[in-house]
Structures are given as structure tokens and as C-alpha cells.
Amino acid sequence: MPELPEVETVRRGLEPAMTGHVITKADVNRPGLRWPFPPDMAARLTGARVLGLRRRSKYILADLDTGESLLVHLGMTGRMLVSGIMVGEFHYDHPAPEKHDHVVLRMETGAKVTFNEARRFGAMDLLPTGGSHPLLASLGPEPLGNAFDASYLAGRLAGRKMPVKSALLDQRIVAGLGNIYVCEALFRARIDPRRLAGSLTGEETARLVPVIRDVLDEAIAAGGSSLRDYRQTGGELGYFQHSFRVYGREGAPCPECGTPVARIVQAGRSTFWCPSCQTG
């Protein structure tokens, strides 16, 4: 599933095609994906001008001049592909329609924004701009925002008897982190993923917060990580997977000490870590 860096990369890729422009026609090719689409979604989108694009956790929100916002969740295999527009020196031609092109937004500029999702775990919904939504209601602070600092994290981890890896994946504690970037951040911070969250010291949480920010910033700059289906809005792969230090590298030498990278399963998710560097 795309994590924060992939979703932020998609949001930035959508901006030239959508921000400030009118959706002249919305083609909605099925009644829904993971959940039904909202009533009259095509009509409510058609003629609306996109005022801006935001990201909250792993969700994209397009604010419209109708007073509503379009919420997009990419699900497991979702892609938001832009065509018919110049981006820098590149022109992305319109591709032939594909089987899983579920929603197509045709912009006044001639650009198209296509939501393609093979497994149908993605979602689209409309909500009042600035209003609440069940998918957003319980989210913690953004890890790149000012509200996420060492004091906040220490307070939320205090007394918790779950592994720190699991705590960082809890979207109520911090929004947008997923398995890849938690593994990478814990490795860089030299924290054992099996440690109970409540056992982290103040020094360790102070070390962990900037490491999380650095990992996310580097991944965004690299266009995210493409492991299976993720693509940027022009169809390009992300490149951060070439910078993984532990994730997906079971048995490979640790880049710091040479110890083979280990894999364990925590809460049904693979955790990759170095048994030598991440001790204590």
C-alpha cells in the first residue's frame, strides 16, 4: 500500500493538471470501489474548479469551489495518472483506456486524470471542505508537521506495552507512516523494533523524530518507493527502494556492520532489522 511519501509524490504530480482548473467532465465507470461512491459523484464533480490539493496521512484531498472536497485513497494498487499535459520538458500523451480506469477527470486544459485501481481497495468520496470524515477523524499528527515532536511522541508512547514498531504504525499516534519507512527509521535510530514502546527513553525519542522526518523527506525527493504497483502520476517508478538499508534485505549484509539483516513478523507484518546495530 502506498505510504506517505508515495501519496505526497502523487499529490505534487497532480497539482499542475488540477490546481486552478475546472473539471469539465467526470467519467465514473462503476458504482464504487472499496465502498460505494457518493450519490451523483459525476455531476457533483463536473464543472467544479479545483482550488487546491492537500494530503492528510495517506489520503489526497482536492478542494473544490463548490464547497466540497474530493477525498482519494489509492488502496493497494491505485494509481492517479495524468495525461495530455506538459510537465517540465515532457508531454504525457493520453494512453488507451484500460480495464481498471474507474474514474476519469477531464480538465478544461485537455488534461486527463485517471484513477486506475486493479484490486478495488481504493476509495473516493466527497465531503464538505474543512469538514470531518470517518477516515480522517482519528488520525494523529503529520510526521512532517510541527505537532509531531519528541515531547509529543514520548507522551504517546509512555506506558504502552506494544512493540515500538507496532506503535509507529498506529495511525492514531502518527499519521501516514507505513511498514517500509518505520523499518528504515528504526534502523537509522538504532532502536530494536521489538522494544516495548513505553521503554524508550527521552533521548531515544528525541533521536527518532528527526530520523523519521529525514527518511520521509529523502523518500519524497526520490519519488517514493516502487515495489509492486506504485507509479508516479506520469507512470514513472519511484526510486527510494534503491536506498533501502534494511527493508526487504533479509540475509543481506547490514550496510553499517555487515551482520545479515534479519526478518521477523510483528502483527502480521514483516519487520527487517539489524540484530547488531539495533540492540538494547
Query: Does pLDDT of 200 surpass 90?
Result: yes
45 or 268, greater pLDDT: 45
pLDDT for position 98: 73
Contact call for residues 134 and 34 (beta carbons, < 8 A):
no
Q: CATH fold of 150-273, please?
A: Helicase, Ruva Protein; domain 3 (1.10.8)
Residue type, 121: F
Q: Which long-range contacts (CB under 8 A, 24 or more apart) does 268-273 make?
A: 269/169, 269/179, 270/179, 271/165, 271/179, 271/183, 271/193, 272/183, 272/187, 272/246, 272/247, 272/248, 273/183, 273/186, 273/187, 273/192, 273/193, 273/246
pLDDT for position 231: 52
Q: Cβ-count burial of 59 within 10 angstroms (0-12 exposed, 13-18 middle, 19+ buried)?
A: buried
Which range (24-28, 41-45, 227-231, 259-263) has the least confidence? 227-231
- Write down the catalytic residue from 49, 120, 213, 269: 269
- Enumerate the CATH 3.20.190.10 domain ranges in the chain, comma separated: 4-128
pLDDT digits (tens, 9 = 90+) for 153-176: 999 999 999 999 999 999 999 999
3 catalytic residue (yes or no): yes
Measured CA distances, 113 to 10, 17, 59, 105, 184 (Å) = 11, 8, 16, 5, 32
pLDDT for position 90: 57
Residue type, 215: V
DSSP string, 229-273: S---TTSPPP-GGGG-SSTT-TTSBPTTT-PBPEEEEETTEEEEE
- Enumerate the CATH 1.10.8.50 domain ranges in the chain, comma separated: 150-273
DSSP 8-class letter at 139: -
Neighbours of 280 (CB within 10 A): 9
In DSSP terms, 79 is beta-bridged to: 116
- Write down the catalytic residue from 3, 6, 8, 68: 3
User: What is the rounded average pLDDT for all residues in the chain?
Assistant: 90
269 catalytic residue (yes or no): yes
pLDDT for position 193: 97
Query: Does pLDDT of 224 surpass 90?
Result: no
pLDDT for position 232: 53
Q: CATH fold of 4-128, please?
A: N-terminal domain of MutM-like DNA repair proteins (3.20.190)
Contact call for residues 184 and 273 (beta carbons, < 8 A):
no
In DSSP terms, 23 is beta-bridged to: 107
Contact call for residues 178 and 1 (beta carbons, < 8 A):
yes
- Write down the catalytic residue from 55, 58, 106, 249: 58
The x, y and z cell numbers of residue 4, run together, are 506517505
Query: Does pLDDT of 15 surpass 70?
Result: yes
Residues 61-67 have a mean pLDDT of: 98
pLDDT digits (tens, 9 = 90+) for 98-153: 788 999 999 999 999 999 988 888 999 999 999 999 999 999 999 999 999 999 99
- Write down the catalytic residue from 2, 5, 141, 163: 2
The whole model's pTM is what?
A: 0.89
Query: Does pLDDT of 91 surpass 80?
Result: no
Q: Which residue has the cell 464543472?
A: 47
Which range (45-59, 178-192, 223-237) has the least confidence? 223-237
12 catalytic residue (yes or no): no
228 catalytic residue (yes or no): no
pLDDT for position 3: 87
Neighbours of 35 (CB within 10 A): 12
